[in-house]
C-alpha cells in the first residue's frame, strides 16, 4: 500500500511508515489513537475530557492510562506531538490532524483486508485456479463445476486445459491450485491421488463383428493416437504392454492433439483408436463408431497438488463436491 506523500519533515514521513505497522501489531491502541477526530475533540471539551477519554478507551478495552502511554510512546518515537495538552484538556496539533487523515485511510484498508480474509475463509469470494487434461475438462468436470458454482456462486473458476504433462507443469509452477489428470505423474514435488475413473474403449468406424482382438490383431491395425504426454496415450501404452505389445511397434497413421480430432478421424474411416467412453459415447449411440470386443481396466483420474504450497479453501471445497459425486 502506498500512502500519499507530503512535503513535510522526516519525522512525519516516519509517522507514515508507522501507519502500515501499527494496525497489525497493536490494532486496538491504534484505533483509540486515531479516532479522536475533530468532532470527538469538541465532544471532549463539552462533556469533560477525562470522562469521555475513559469511555472511548473502555469501548476498545483500553484504559485511559494505557491509551495515554501508547500515544506518548508514539509521539516520543517520532519526536512529533499529536496533541496539545493544556491543563486537563487536549486538542489535535497540525501533525495530529494530518496523521488522523492518513490513519483513517489505513484503518479503512485494514478493515477491508480483514473482510477479504473472512470472505475467503467463508468462500464468499475468491478464485479457484484449476487445470485439467482434455478428457476431464471437456467431459467429466462440467457437471461437477456446475454443482460447485451453485454452492459457491461468488467463487470464480479459472480452468486451463492441457495434456497430463502440461497440467503437472502448471501445478508445479504455481499457476494452478489443483490439477486433475488421467495419467500418473512422477514428480516428487507433487502429491497425486485417485479422484475418479473412466473406461477406455477401442473404437472404429466399421463393426468389429466376431473378430478376436489379440496381440497380433493390435499390431496389424492402423491407429490414430493422441500426442506424447497425453494421459490417454500413456494409459493405452500401459495396457498394450500388459498384452505383450510394444507401443513403438504399432502402425500409427495419425497422431492428433485432441480427443475430438482423434474421434473425427476414426469416424471418417481412419481405422481404430482408443479413447475415453466419455468422449465416444455420443458417436456410438449415433452409430458413427463401434466398440471392439476387448476390455481395458478402468482408468483412474488423479488429483494433483504441490506438496509445499498453501491448500486453498476453494480447492478443498471442489474436492468435497467431487467426493459427494462419487458416492
212, with CB counted inside 10 A (0-12, 13-18, 19+), is exposed
Domain C-terminal end among 105, 121, 137 = 121
Alpha helices in 38-128 (DSSP H): 38-47, 49-59, 64-78, 94-121
Window from 43-47, 61-65, 133-137, 186-190 with minimum mean pLDDT: 43-47
- Asked whether the predicted pLDDT for residue 236 surpasses 50, the reply is yes
Output phi, psi for 231, to 5 deg: -65, -35
Domain C-terminal end among 90, 121, 152 = 121
pLDDT band at 11 (very low <50, low <70, confident <90, very high): very low
Grid cell for residue 153:
456462486
Do 47 and 18 share a domain, yes or no?
A: yes
CATH number at residue 269: 3.40.190.10
Do 148 and 215 share a domain, yes or no?
A: no
Do 14 and 114 share a domain, yes or no?
A: yes
Do 191 and 306 share a domain, yes or no?
A: yes
Domain-embedded: residue 2: no
Q: How far apart are alpha carbons 304 and 203 in whole angstroms?
A: 30
pLDDT band at 161 (very low <50, low <70, confident <90, very high): very high
Q: How far apart are alpha carbons 252 and 247 in whole angstroms?
A: 10
Q: How far apart are alpha carbons 137 and 160 in whole angstroms?
A: 8
Q: How far apart are alpha carbons 259 and 231 in whole angstroms?
A: 11
Do 310 and 284 share a domain, yes or no?
A: no
Identify the pLDDT of residue 116: 66
Q: How far apart are alpha carbons 3 and 262 in whole angstroms?
A: 57
Q: How far apart are alpha carbons 36 and 92 in whole angstroms?
A: 8
Identify the pLDDT of residue 322: 92
CATH number at residue 59: 1.10.10.10
Output phi, psi for 107, to 5 deg: -60, -45
Q: How far apart are alpha carbons 83 and 96 in whole angstroms?
A: 6
Do 165 and 311 share a domain, yes or no?
A: yes
Residue range 253-283, pLDDT digits in tens: 999 999 999 999 999 987 999 999 999 999 9
Separation in Å, CA 271 to CA 106, 208, 218: 68, 11, 11
Domain count, the chain: 3
Domain-embedded: residue 106: yes
Mean pLDDT across the stretch 22-41? 40
Do 292 and 248 share a domain, yes or no?
A: yes
Do 116 and 135 share a domain, yes or no?
A: no
284, with CB counted inside 10 A (0-12, 13-18, 19+), is middle
Identify the pLDDT of residue 199: 94
Identify the pLDDT of residue 209: 85
Do 15 and 116 share a domain, yes or no?
A: yes
Cβ distance 133 to 104 under 8 Å? no
The more confidently predicted of residues 15 and 191 is: 191
Domain-embedded: residue 1: no
* Average pLDDT in the chain: 79
Check: pTM over 0.85? Answer yes or no. no
Cβ distance 126 to 120 under 8 Å? yes
Residue range 78-98, pLDDT digits in tens: 888 888 877 777 778 888 888
Count of CB atoms within 10 A of residue 65's CB?
10
Beta bridge partners of 303: 180, 193
Domain-embedded: residue 149: yes
Domain C-terminal end among 121, 149, 166 = 121
Q: Is 262 left (phi over 0), alpha (psi -120 to 50) or beta?
A: alpha
Which residues span the domain enclosing 266? 200-297
- Asked whether the predicted pLDDT for residue 210 surpasses 90, the reply is no
Identify the pLDDT of residue 112: 67
Identify the pLDDT of residue 99: 81
Domain-embedded: residue 3: no
Domain-embedded: residue 5: no
Do 150 and 90 share a domain, yes or no?
A: no
Do 116 and 29 share a domain, yes or no?
A: yes
Residues in the chain: 327
Domain-embedded: residue 243: yes
Half-sphere exposure of 7 (CA within 13 A, CB side): 0
Do 19 and 106 share a domain, yes or no?
A: yes
Amino acid at each position: 500500500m502506498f500512502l500519499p506523500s507530503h512535503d513535510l519533515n522526516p519525522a512525519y514521513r516516519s509517522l507514515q511508515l508507522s501507519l502500515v505497522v501499527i494496525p497489525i501489531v497493536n490494532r486496538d491502541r491504534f484505533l483509540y489513537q486515531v479516532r479522536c477526530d475533530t468532532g470527538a475533540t469538541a465532544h471532549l471539551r463539552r462533556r469533560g475530557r477525562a470522562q469521555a477519554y475513559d469511555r472511548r478507551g473502555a469501548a476498545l478495552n483500553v484504559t485511559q492510562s494505557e491509551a495515554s502511554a501508547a500515544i506518548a510512546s508514539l509521539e516520543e518515537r517520532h519526536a512529533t506531538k499529536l496533541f496539545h495538552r493544556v491543563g486537563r484538556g487536549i486538542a489535535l496539533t497540525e501533525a495530529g490532524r494530518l496523521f488522523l487523515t492518513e490513519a483513517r485511510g489505513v484503518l479503512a484498508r485494514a478493515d477491508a483486508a480483514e473482510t477479504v480474509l473472512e470472505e475467503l475463509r467463508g468462500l464468499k469470494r475468491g478464485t479457484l485456479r484449476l487445470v485439467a487434461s482434455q478428457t476431464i475438462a471437456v467431459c467429466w468436470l462440467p457437471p461437477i463445476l456446475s454443482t460447485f458454482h451453485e454452492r459457491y456462486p461468488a467463487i470464480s473458476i479459472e480452468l486451463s486445459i492441457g495434456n497430463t504433462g502440461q497440467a503437472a507443469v502448471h501445478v508445479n509452477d504455481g499457476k494452478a491450485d489443483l490439477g486433475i489428470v488421467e495419467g500418473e505423474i512422477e514428480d516428487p514435488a507433487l502429491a497425486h491421488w485417485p479422484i475418479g475413473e473412466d473406461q477406455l474403449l477401442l473404437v472404429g468406424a466399421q463393426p468389429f463383428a466376431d473378430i478376436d482382438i489379440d496381440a497380433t490383431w493390435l499390431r496389424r491395425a492402423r491407429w490414430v493416437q493422441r500426442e506424447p504426454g497425453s494421459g490417454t496415450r500413456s494409459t493405452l501404452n500401459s495396457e498394450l504392454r500388459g498384452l505383450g505389445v510394444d507401443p513403438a511397434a504399432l502402425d500409427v497413421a495419425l497422431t492428433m492433439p485432441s480427443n475430438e480430432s482423434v474421434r473425427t478421424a476414426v469416424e471418417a474411416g481412419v481405422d481404430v483408436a482408443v479413447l475415453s467412453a466419455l468422449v465416444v459415447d455420443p458417436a456410438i449411440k449415433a452409430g458413427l463408431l463401434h466398440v471392439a470386443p476387448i476390455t481395458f481396466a478402468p482408468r483412474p483420474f488423479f488429483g494433483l497438488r504441490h506438496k509445499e504450497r498453501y491448500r486453498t479453501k476453494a480447492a478443498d471445497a471442489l474436492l468435497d463436491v467431487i467426493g459427494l459425486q462419487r458416492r
